[in-house]
Copies of this chain bind each other. A is one copy, B any other.
């Protein structure tokens, strides 16, 4: 990921500024401000602005006059209580603004999270940069057999080379045509871009409250999410861990690392703990659910 001289100067300028504020600040996030975290081959995530911290969650839950904090210990307990009991509104009182550069097919998954504010680079208004995503060979895999929307075995070296050759050849040709259409006949940008591939990079500003951000992460850090969006989600997860460490810890304990059992699965666990032998046949679970429960309980 390389920045243009102009972008680098803008970044340096933003990093150099410092102001006095009465608002709460988070030192670890101040350190990160504006710095791009590389994602995939040309993408990045960088923090543009933030509002609130762990104490702001507590403050809102108490609707109090002061900062809400009694002790760090008390704050931690309350935040864990709120997370456990799905009292979600206090987490909405923190807000994060990110600048993201990402392939269009990732942007199409991302945008499905509706409760967020977005400003995307406009390919009607501006010319697109010649940048597209090419997977690393080790990320190329066959269609999963057991799961209609995932990846299975990694491709052989020869297969991977062929795949990358085709993807690259087509993308380069599409971008060449794009350039030509704009510079030759002067085709309107909104039309010239329709031949660009879904691997082309776009950019946006994305602003979201902490509750909806955590919901986004719970879905997009999940192993069922497409690898390419997971890379971005993981990068954002590290930002959140720095920003609101108590909320992040609670999120890891009660969401990411937790599990939801169905009524039937819960019954299987109860019976086993009582010493019963339970079989798939008398469990009330489908074969697939049974297998998933087995995996879960083995850890």
Question: A49-B56, A63-B119, A269-B269 known; A191 and B151 CB under 8 Å?
Answer: yes
**Count of chain A residues near B, Cβ 8 A:** 141
Q: Which residues of B contact A63 (CB under 8 A)?
A: 99, 119-121, 203-205
Which chain B residue lies CB-closest to A46? Answer: B65
Q: Tell whether, in the assembled complex, residue A198 and residue B199 are in contact, meaning their CB atoms are under 8 Å apart.
A: no
State A192–B169 Cα separation when bound (angstroms). 14
- Hey, what's the 0/1 contact readout for A60-96 against B, CB within 8 Å counting as 1? 1101111100000000010010001110011011010
A interface residues, Cβ below 8 angstroms from B: 3, 6-7, 9-11, 13-15, 17-25, 30, 33-34, 48-52, 56, 59-61, 63-67, 77, 80, 84-86, 89-90, 92-93, 95, 97, 99, 103-105, 107-108, 111-112, 114-115, 117-122, 124-125, 133, 135, 139-144, 148-152, 155, 159, 162-163, 166-167, 169-171, 173-174, 177, 180-182, 184-191, 193-200, 203-205, 207, 209, 219, 224, 226, 252-254, 256-267, 269-270, 272-273, 286, 289, 296-299
Quickly give the copy total for this chain: 4
A49–B24 contact, CB under 8 A?
yes
Please determine whether A10 and B117 come into contact, CB atoms closer than 8 angstroms: no
* A13, B121: Cβ atoms closer than 8 Å: no
Report B-chain residues with C-beta under 8 Å of the C-beta of A111: 108, 111-112
Which residue of chain B has the shortest Cβ distance to A119 in the bound complex? B60
Asked whether A266 lies within 8 Å of B49 as measured between CB atoms, the reply is no
